[in-house]
Amino acid sequence: MTTDTANGDIAVRVYPGTYRDSVSLMLLSREVATMDGVADALVGMGTAVNLQSFTEMGAPVPSDVAENDLIVAVQAADPAVREAAFARAEAGDATRPTGATGGGERRARSVRTAARVPGQAPASLALVSVPGPHAAGVALEALNEGLDVMVFSDNVPLKHEIALKRTAERLGRLVMGPDCGTAVLQGACLGFANVTRPGTVGVVAASGTGAQHLMSLLDAAHVGVSHCLGVGGRDLSEEVGASSAVRALDILDADPQTDRIVVISKPPAPAAAERLTAHAATLSKPVHTILLGTQGQDITSAVEEVLHAQGVAVPEWPQWAPGSPGGRSARSGALRGLYCGGTLAEEALLVVEAELGAVSSNLGKRAAESETPHRVVDFGADEFTQGRPHPMIDPMPREEQLRAELLDEDCAVVLLDVVLGHGAHPDPASGVAAVVRDGRALGSTTPVIVSLCGTQDDPQDLTRQAETLQAAGAEVYVSNAAAARRAARLAAGKD
């Protein structure tokens, strides 16, 4: 039972009570919008945020739609194209009804039902990625059911996070997140995570891409990871007080597979840092702490310390220089950093600032754009992900910016990250390489420096991704700090 409305060449179809997750719908939205003859298209649930987008598009959405109703709006001059677009949206599995009445296989509607499959061992973990305001409710249900929880969702209210973590403390469970993008348990990757060799280093991470980079570097040094427990970016805030980090440390300290623990985080609140440090000192295993920006260290040098402590030789960090000339900048000038990974962007910014001075950025309090030609942008920040998937899934916005920078006469060097692993785009290098090739064809000689985060065993294949980028004329480093340093020196005219 659907409702159709129209306004000129914009047609709207509403599928009542047909809930789909936002990531699927955003990808589908783009698929429909890029069909031949379609001027614009939007597929989304009837949430307040989405209704605003439909209004901006000029789509005549009925006033009585609910959050559970799926809305497809298509703008196309040809009515046949509009119908084809609706058909594509439906074929994209967006509108197939699930288990509302009769027949078919039953799908669980609650964590409890899903966790208790007759004849199987009860589930051990819940992975929650529902819209932020609803996430803590689902996570608490999972805790009450006896599960540990990973909350991938962002935009979870702080008071919800506190309630969640107090409950986890009472029940002796771990809450990874909210806003936890990365975890590795027994070699299984949850969220965005790289396939690393099995090993004995346990990781506690309040940073997603920071953890990915750390594990990838260890892997490049032939050192494996036992588990990576994410805790969420806000765990080390004053209000949350390192609740999950402390629990995660205890879990790894008790885990026989782990013999060394590394904590990685952005700068924590002092009280949380104190609690964390004090607790780490009580453990039976050595704990290394990488607090980005507080100790003047970068992730690569911190990993090298871990390797030293482990008695493992520090390898030459892999890098791939372009086969053709272009490794030297024609001129000094502006550095433009275009990042997907928040922590990688943060680290790059610190390295670049040390070399070039003021750099503008959307990361925290930085110099204004008018004060400096240098800029580092985190495309994974909230302002870029409202109504869009993360750039690690949908690289298009960043590729557009790369295209522009390559043709910008002020831009002397572009620095960017390419992140591999489960959850990430299946072939991120190809998109970047195509833009670089286009730029070269148009006469751009601007050096492109890539920080490539990944491992040989990732589904995307590190070497193949690196060679694709190299062949297009980019320089590739597995060390983000090395990439940032190289880019900064090029911008300064020192390389």
Partner 1 sequence: MPSTESRLTSEAPSVVTVGAELLTDTLTAQGAPVHPVDFRPPLAGDGVDDALVDVLADPRRAEANETALNRVLGVRPRLVDVRPASEFLGLRPGTFYHAGPPIAWKDASGPLRGALIGAMLFEGLAQSPEEAEKALAEGAATLEPCHHHGGVGPMAGVVSPSMWVFVLRDEADPERYSWCSLNEGLGKVLRYGAYGPEVVERLRWMSSVLGPVLRDAVRARGPIDLGTILAQMLHMGDEAHNRNRAGTLMLLRDLLPNLVAGDHPAEDLAEVMRFVGGNDHFFLNLAMPALKLMLDAGRDVPGSSLVVAMARNGTEFGIQVSGTGDQWFTGPAQYPEGLFLGSYGPDDANPDIGDSAITETGGMGGFVMAAAPAIVRLVGGDAAFAMDATQNMYEITNDDHPLFQLPILDFRGSPTGIDVAKVVSTGILPQINTGMAGRVPGTGQVGAGLVTPPAECFTKAIRALGEAAEAP
Q: By CB under 8 A, what part of segment 354-413 binds partner 1?
A: 393
What are the structure tokens assigned to 469, written together?
A: 């980028």
Q: Could you say which residues in the range 165-184 bind partner 1, by CB under 8 A?
A: 166-167, 169-172, 174
Residues 418/458, Cβ–Cβ less than 8 Å? no
CB of 164 to partner 1, least distance (A): 7
> Taking CB under 8 A as the criterion, which residues in 244-263 touch partner 1?
250-255, 257-258
- Binding flag, residue 140, partner 1 (CB under 8 A): yes
- The phi, psi pair for 205, rounded to 5°, reads -125, 125
Question: Does residue number 438 form part of the binding site for partner 1 (CB under 8 A)?
Answer: no
Candidate list 34, 52, 55, 124; residue touching partner 1; CB under 8 A = 124
Q: What CA–CA distance (Å, rounded) separates 40 from 50?
A: 15
Which of 64-72, 284-292, 310-318, 370-378 is the region at the interface with partner 1 (rule: CB under 8 A)?
64-72
Q: Is 190 in the site for partner 1 (CB under 8 A)?
A: yes
CB crowding 373-401: b at 16 or more within 10 Å, else e: bbbbbbbbbeebbebbbbbbbbbeebbeb
Site for partner 1 in 13-42 (CB under 8 A): 19, 21-24
Of 30, 279, 422, 440, the residue at the interface with partner 1 (CB under 8 A) is 422
Minimal distance in Å, beta carbon 177 to partner 1?
Answer: 12
Cα dist. 89→23, 76, 465 in Å?
14, 14, 32
Nearest distance, CB of residue 98 and partner 1, angstroms:
6
Binders of partner 1 among residues 445 to 474 (CB under 8 A) are 459
Check residue 159 for interaction with partner 1 (CB under 8 A).
Answer: yes
Check: CB of residue 220 under 8 Å from CB of residue 318: yes
Question: How far is 188 from 228, CA to CA, in rounded Å?
Answer: 10
Site for partner 1 in 206-235 (CB under 8 A): 226-227, 229
Q: Which is nearer to partner 1, 189 or 433 (CB)?
A: 189
Binding mask 87-116 for partner 1 (x = CB under 8 A): -----------xx-xxx--xxxxxxxxxx-
Q: Does 63 bind partner 1 (CB under 8 A)?
A: no
Structure token pair of residue 461: 């294949």
- How far is 7 from 76, CA to CA, in rounded Å? 11
- Site for partner 1 contains 323 (CB under 8 A): no
d(CA 178, CA 234) in angstroms, rounded, equals 8
Residue whose structure tokens are 């914009």: 10
